[in-house]
Amino acid sequence: MGSDARCCDAGGSDGPLAGVPRLADHPVAPGERWILSAGFNTGPELADTGRIDCELADLAALADAGARVAVLSHQGSHRDGSARGLSHIAAYLGRRLGRVVAYHPHSADEEAPRVAEAMAPGAVVLFGNTREYAGEERGDVGLARAFARLGDRVAVGGFSKAHRAHASNTGLLGLMPGVAARSLVRDVAELAPWAARDGRRSVAVLGGRKPEKVLAGLAGLSGSYDLIVPGGVVLNTLLAALGHRVGASWLGSDPERCVRVAREVLQGPRRAVIHLPATVYVAPADAAGNPVGPARPLALPGDVPAGHAVVDFDLQPWAAAELTYTERALVAGTPCQYRFGHTRAVDAVLPVLAGTDTLLLGGDTVAELPWRGRTSTGGGSALTLLASGDCAVLRALRAQTASLL
C-alpha cells in the first residue's frame, strides 16, 4: 500500500476515473442489447436499499432509450452458501421504476439467452444471482462467456464489487465493449474528500468482519489518516498481532495474512495513532465470533478466555477528545457486535462524528447503524480505492478502447 491514500484527488482531477469510458457519454440506440452489471448485495429483508436505489437512474436511462436491458447482480457468496434468489429485488425494481421488471432465476442456464433474445426494446429483466455459480468469484472465463450471451454491451455499476475481478464485471469487460454506469462514476467521485491528505484532521473507524478492513483499511489508511480506531476484525487482528490470545474472536477468512500485515503496520513507520482500548468486552461466542451469552469487561493487556470473543470496547478518554476535533472521518465496518446489543463503541463514536464530514462505508454497516449522514455503497471496494488509488473494475474499464464501442 502507498503511504498516501489516493482516489479522485480533492484538487479536481479525474483521478482513477481518468480514461474510464462512461455510459453518460455514450449514445444508446433503441433495440441495443445491454447488460447492467449491478451490485444488489443486500440482505433479504432489504433493510437498506441504497445499493439498489443507486442503480435506478442507469436502468431507467437504458430502458428509456429503448435498450433491451439484462440485469446481472451478485448477492451473498457461493463459497459460504449465502447466495439467494433475487425475485424480491425484481419486484422492488419494478415498483421503483414504474415498469415491469421480469425475473429469470438463473443467469447462466440454457434458457437465459433465449429470455434475453426475446426481450422487446425498453424491457428490463433481472437474471438470477451470479453467485449461484462457483465460477463468478473465481472470475471464470467460461462463466463470463455464458453471461455474455445476455447482451452485446455492458454498463458496469455495482461499486461494492469493483475491487473484485469477477466473471460478471471484469470477465464481461474482457469479452464485450463496456462503460462505467453513472452509479459507478458517482460512487467513485464521491470518495474524493476522504482520499488524499488535505490538512484536515482525520479519523478512520474500522471494524466489521472482512479481511479488506485490515488489508486495505488498516494498512492503507495508517499512512495518511491521523487516528485509527480499530474495532471488529481489525481490533481482534491487532490483539493477535500483539501476541494476545484472542479465544474465539473473529479473525476473518484470511487470518494469517491479516495478522502479518497488522504486525507490519504496528512495527513500521506510520502517520496514524492507532487506538488500543484499555477495556474490551468479551462474551461466550460461537465459531463465527458471535456472542451466545452475556459480556463482561476484560482489562488490556490480557488474554481473551477460550470460547470467548471480543464483542465491544470502551473508547479511551483521549480518543474521545480527539474525535471532537476531527474534521474528516470514515467508518468502515461496524466496530462492535451492535446487532447483538453491544453498542458501546458505536455510541461513543457516531454521535460525535455526526457533526463532521463523515462517511459510512459498506453494506452491513450502513444497514445496521443509526446514521442519517453520508454513506457509500462500497465497503471493501471503497477502502481498496482509498488505499491504493485504483481497483480491478476501473483498470478493466480503462483497458477498453473507444473503438470497441
Binding site for ligand ADP (CB under 6 A): 207-210, 213, 231-232, 250, 289, 309-311, 333-334, 336-337, 339, 362-365, 368, 379
Contact partner, 232, from ligand ADP, ligand X15, none, Cβ < 5-8 Å per class: ligand ADP
**CA distance linking residue 214 with residue 357, whole number of Å:** 23
Grid cell in block for residue 167: 466473471
**CA distance linking residue 82 with residue 39, whole number of Å:** 15
Answer yes or no whether residue 78 interacts with ligand X15 by CB under 6 A. Answer: no
Please choose, out of 1-9, 105-113, 156-164, 179-187, the segment that lies near ligand X15 by the rule CB under 6 A. Answer: 156-164
Smallest separation (angstroms) from ligand ADP to the CB of 291:
9
Q: Which is nearer to ligand X15, 334 or 358 (CB)?
A: 334
Answer yes or no whether residue 210 interacts with ligand X15 by CB under 6 A. Answer: yes
Site for ligand X15 in 162-181 (CB under 6 A): 164
Smallest separation (angstroms) from ligand X15 to the CB of 365:
7
Confirm if 285 and 311 have CB atoms less than 8 A apart.
yes
**CA distance linking residue 386 with residue 192, whole number of Å:** 8
Q: Which is nearer to ligand ADP, 253 or 316 (CB)?
A: 253
38 closest CA partner among 78, 90, 79: 90
Of 6, 33, 78, 161, the one binding ligand X15 by CB under 6 A: 161
By CB under 6 A, the count of residues binding ligand X15 is 12
Grid cell in block for residue 331: 467508518
Of 21, 211, 379, 389, the one binding ligand X15 by CB under 6 A: 379
Give strand ranges (E) for 199-348.
Answer: 202-206, 227-230, 273-274, 279-284, 296-299, 308-313, 328-332
The DSSP 8-state label assigned to residue 44 in this structure reads T
The DSSP 8-state label assigned to residue 403 in this structure reads G
Q: Which is nearer to ligand X15, 72 or 315 (CB)?
A: 72
Class of residue 77 by CB neighbours under 10 A (exposed 0-12, middle 13-18, buried 19+): middle
Answer yes or no whether residue 49 interacts with ligand X15 by CB under 6 A. Answer: no
Contact footprint for ligand X15 (CB under 6 A) = 39, 41, 77, 160-161, 164, 210, 212, 362-363, 379-380
